[in-house]
Amino acid sequence: AAPGVRRLSPYQPGKPLDALEREYGVRNAIKLASNENPLGPGPAAVAAARAALEGVGRYPDGAGFGLKRALAARLGVDAMQITLGNGSNDVLELVARAFLGPDTEVVYAAHAFAVYALVTQAAGARAVVVPARDWGHDLDAMRAAVGPRTRLVFIANPNNPTGTWLRAGDLEGFVRAVPENVLVVVDEAYFEYVDEPDYPDTVGWIAKYPNLITTRTFSKIHGLAGLRVGYGVSHPAVADLLNRVRQPFNVNSAAAAAAEAALRDEAHVARSRDMNRAGLRQLTEGTKKLGLPHIPSTANFVCIEVGQAAAVYEGLLREGVIVRPVANYGMPRHLRVTVGLPEENERFLKALDKVLGGSR
Ligand code: PMP
């Protein structure tokens, strides 16, 4: 194997529900572990995916014309600026494949989304991991870490797993300060959830900063994680390069049809956002009552400091609640909990109280 690949540790997904039933004999388990929308997709998206199945004898539209046109209209950009991906992870990988090589460096923050490390190493590039400040990206330190070999900077806004976010002024100051030959990827997988006045919509900045790439996804608020659709928005010249390394049919026809319908279903997005806002409050207030601190989050998940997280995680599994340990992110005292339905959040809080009961 290539040297970077040999050193890779694979991405660790959340424990699936059926595994919990098999391993622990727990029935009616709930999963708050993968930052999915607890409402799932809206009915229009599901109907569009079903209808698309009629045509699966043929290859999908390889250029993703319809979905790109719909996204371009929504975002106020040209369709030539969009790169479709099999999830936004695919777009992150395309960026690495198009721009990285053995003598290049990539800057990202400690506790940042795991896929940045994966795609950097797989491309044989060197990772420069910058220590966090208050669990979030330290943009001054990241700016200082950019050197002559730096080709890429990955920034998640908000970040997974910490839930921390960057304000428009700070992020734009960073993008302005970075040399033009360094690409800045701003990963906005949780964009639609954010409820903060100074939160930037970086798609609007691309005309000013041609080295900026914004990535977003249909996996989160649109509830289409299982179909795998994401996209990047960039300067057309960058999109052209990404499209050269893209597999010709990387977004399947059911996924593209569902994504187009989901984009039109603004009511489902609004419903999901409202439910998340209330659920995030339910989780943070509930854990505060248990005496547990959390990292302030503006996404659809929150990291709660539970102490010996591995033991608490195990205890929760026995109660039929799957959350996400984040020790692999250098956070052995936290658990990441995805906002669920109100009754699921309640069940998590009750289970957590019970599991911690013994140790308090
Ligand atoms: N970026 C971030 C910050 C994420 O948390 C995720 C999902 N875990 C992704 C990208 C990738 O999501 P997808 O490939 O489903 O679009």
pLDDT digits (tens, 9 = 90+) for 209-249: 999 999 999 999 999 999 999 999 999 999 999 999 999 99
Whether 250 has a pLDDT exceeding 80, the answer reads yes
Decide if 3-41+267-357 and 47-264 have a common fold. no
Closest by Cα among 69, 88, 97, 85 to 251: 85
pLDDT of residue 187: 98
Distance (Å) from CA 360 to ligand 1 centroid: 36
For the segment 180-215, what is each residue's pLDDT rounded down to a tens digit? 999 999 999 999 999 999 999 999 999 999 999 999
- Which CATH number does the domain 47-264 belong to among 3.40.640.10, 3.40.50.300, 3.20.20.70, 2.60.40.1260? 3.40.640.10
What integer best gives the mean pLDDT of the chain? 96
Whether 293 has a pLDDT exceeding 70, the answer reads yes
What is the spatial distance between Cα 41 and Cα 257, in angstroms, rounded to a whole number? 13
| Domain locations in the chain as residue ranges | 3-41+267-357, 47-264
Whether 360 has a pLDDT exceeding 80, the answer reads no
Q: What is the pTM of this model?
A: 0.96
Closest by Cα among 302, 280, 300, 310 to 162: 302
pLDDT of residue 334: 98
Whether residue 113 has its Cβ less than 6 Å from ligand 1: yes
**Distance from chain centroid for Cα 236:** 24
Query: Which two three-digit tokens encode residue 112?
Result: 């940042």
- Which CATH number does the domain 3-41+267-357 belong to among 3.30.70.360, 2.170.120.12, 2.30.110.10, 3.90.1150.10? 3.90.1150.10
pLDDT of residue 358: 53
Helix, strand or coil, per DSSP, at residue 246: coil
For the segment 78-95, what is each residue's pLDDT rounded down to a tens digit? 999 999 999 999 999 999
Query: Which two three-digit tokens encode residue 10?
Result: 């694979």
- The DSSP 8-state label assigned to residue 252 in this structure reads -
Whether residue 298 has its Cβ less than 6 Å from ligand 1: no
For the segment 9-65, what is each residue's pLDDT rounded down to a tens digit? 888 787 888 888 888 888 899 999 999 999 999 999 999 999 999 999 999 988 899
Percentage of the chain exceeding pLDDT 70: 99
Residues 346-352: what's their mean pLDDT? 98
Percentage of the chain exceeding pLDDT 90: 90
Compute CA distances 11 → 89, 113, 156, 251, 254, whole Å: 11, 10, 17, 21, 26
Whether residue 86 has its Cβ less than 6 Å from ligand 1: no
Whether residue 154 has its Cβ less than 6 Å from ligand 1: no
Whether residue 89 has its Cβ less than 6 Å from ligand 1: yes
Whether 286 has a pLDDT exceeding 80, the answer reads yes
User: Which of 35, 111, 220 gets mutated to test ligand 1 (max ligand atoms within 8 A of its CB)?
Assistant: 220
215 DSSP β-pair partners? 187, 232
